[in-house]
Structures are given as C-alpha cells and as structure tokens.
Structure 1
Amino acid sequence: MPFEYPASVRRGLSERMRQGEAVLAVHAESGICLGTLYRWKHQALVDAGLAAGTPSTQAPDLQSAAKRIRQLEDELAIVKAASALYDGQVVVPPKGSSQLSTGS
C-alpha cells in the first residue's frame, strides 16, 4: 500500500513547486519520490488554472459519477440478457394462476 503524506505537507510542498522552486530541490530536502512530487506539482498547476486537467475539487464528483455509470451499464447488461431469454415470445401465465378481473 502506498504511503500517504499529511495533506498539510502536500499543500506546502505543492505551493512551493507551483511558485517555481525546483522539484529536485524539494526532493533533496524532503526525500519524497520524484514521481510523487511531479504529480503534486502538476495537480497544483491544474488547481491554479495554469494547466489542463481536472481540479481536485471536482475529482470526487467525477468518481461518483463514473461509479454510477458503471452500475447503470451493469443493469443494462442484465436487462439485455433477460430480454434475450424471451426472444420476442409472448409470456403466458401458467394455468391456475390468479388473473385480474375486470370487475364486470
């Protein structure tokens, strides 16, 4: 499982890199992996509107929307599979089953 840094550390270092401090200098000082620092810097630039991407504030909404889409796609697959079973045939209720009366 990846190590998670406190949000305050991430915010502070991201802000420093966004303002122009070299990633290698932050790496030398903090010991945090270069890949992690580059991701943080990119996300800080996105959040500041200086780079293309999804802002941090929208990420949870997009994740929940993607989850809902997957659920709906799964439901659709089930409905298609069930409708394929009937193959356009008329379903007749079994003999002896109760039927609704018309009240006449």
Structure 2
Amino acid sequence: MGRKGYPAEFRRRVLDLVDAGRPIADIARDLGISDQTVYNWRRQDRVDRGVEPGLSTGERAELAAARKKIRELESELAVHR
C-alpha cells in the first residue's frame, strides 16, 4: 500500500512560494503540511533540475519499476524450482 501523495500542481505551487522567498515553516503551517515535506520537495526539484546530485524523479520511477520486475521474476523462478 502506497502513501497518499499530493498532486504535482500543488507541489509546484508550494515550490513557487519557496522560490518567491516565503519561509518554508510559514508555507507548511499555512497549508497544513509538514515542513520536512516541503524541504523534500525542494531537494527533489533541485535534483530534477540538475542543481544537486541524486536520482531524478524519472530515474527513481525507473528504478522502482526494475525492482518490481525483479521481485516478480524471482517469485516466478521460485515457483518453477
């Protein structure tokens, strides 16, 4: 079961507020979300733009899909043993 996510448009608007210079603590409080969530979104946005090192959102999705496929294949292989 996955976590409840926020729509991409909502995240983008939050990051626009951060870019405009509003303090993250104020944004988080006003919107009823964790300030750590906003920091995480900001970091991932920087990674996606190539400003910080790390896995981009696309790379994370690709890695998750590959890991899922590996689990499926391992399960299938275990059945045939």
Note if 1:42 corresponds to 2:36.
Answer: no
Divergent runs of 4+, >4 A:
18-21
In structure 2, runs of 5+ residues without a counterpart are none
- 1:20, distance to aligned residue in structure 2 (A): 5.5
How many equivalent pairs are there?
80
- Larger radius of gyration between Structure 1 and Structure 2: 1
**Residues in 1 aligned to 2:51 and 2:60: alpha-carbon distance in whole angstroms:** 17
The residue aligned with 1:67 is 68
- Determine the structure 1 residue equivalent to 2:7: 6
CA contact (8 A) 1:23 1:34 kept: yes
Cα distance change, pair 18–54 in 1 and its aligned pair in 2 (3 A): farther
Distance of 1:77 and 1:2 partners within structure 2: 29
- In the TM superposition, what is the alpha-carbon distance from 1:41 to its structure 2 partner? 1.3
Q: CA deviation at 1:10?
A: 0.6
Identical counterparts, % of pairs: 32
Which structure shows the bigger proportion of residues in helix conformation?
Answer: 2
